[in-house]
């Protein structure tokens, strides 16, 4: 049985939070907004756009498909794959200008 539930995401608050955090960073420090798992269920594209608008230089996701979804939505910010992608996704990583995490010998 399911119950009706929803969350209203205030993208203005997302922007304000990113801006507030950036004010405390050492000059030259880059800000990466983690939007994995559909921004924790809050809408990856909308949250990513709000974060980038507010000054996030990078976005972080786990899956190649999450990153491709952001690219397909027109998001051009650098995207870090926070987990090493499967080797059979290397062509997608290159084609979509993704930065992979690499921590195994085959991944290198």
Domain count, the chain: 1
The per-residue pLDDT for 102 is 96
> Is 1 within the bounds of a domain?
no
> Is 47 within the bounds of a domain?
yes
> Is 107 within the bounds of a domain?
no
Beta partners for residue 33, in sequence order: 59
Instruction: List the domain range (segments joined by +) for residue 81.
Output: 30-100
> Is 57 within the bounds of a domain?
yes
> Is 3 within the bounds of a domain?
no
The per-residue pLDDT for 41 is 87
pTM, 2 dp: 0.91
> Is 54 within the bounds of a domain?
yes
Residue 103: which pLDDT band, with cuts at 50, 70 and 90? very high
Determine which helix (DSSP H) or strand (DSSP E) holds 52, and give its type and residue range.
Answer: helix 44-53
> Is 74 within the bounds of a domain?
yes
Q: Does residue 80 carry a pLDDT above 90?
A: yes
> Is 96 within the bounds of a domain?
yes
């Amino acid at each position: 049985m399911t119950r009706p539930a929803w969350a209203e995401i205030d993208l203005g608050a997302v922007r304000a939070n990113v801006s507030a955090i950036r004010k405390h960073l050492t000059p030259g420090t880059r800000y990466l907004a983690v939007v994995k798992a559909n921004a924790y269920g809050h809408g990856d594209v909308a949250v990513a756009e709000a974060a980038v608008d507010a000054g996030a230089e990078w976005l972080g996701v786990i899956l190649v498909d999450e990153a491709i979804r952001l690219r397909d939505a027109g998001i051009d910010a650098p995207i870090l794959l926070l987990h090493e992608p499967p080797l059979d996704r290397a062509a997608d990583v290159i084609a979509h200008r993704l930065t992979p995490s690499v921590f195994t010998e085959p991944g290198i």
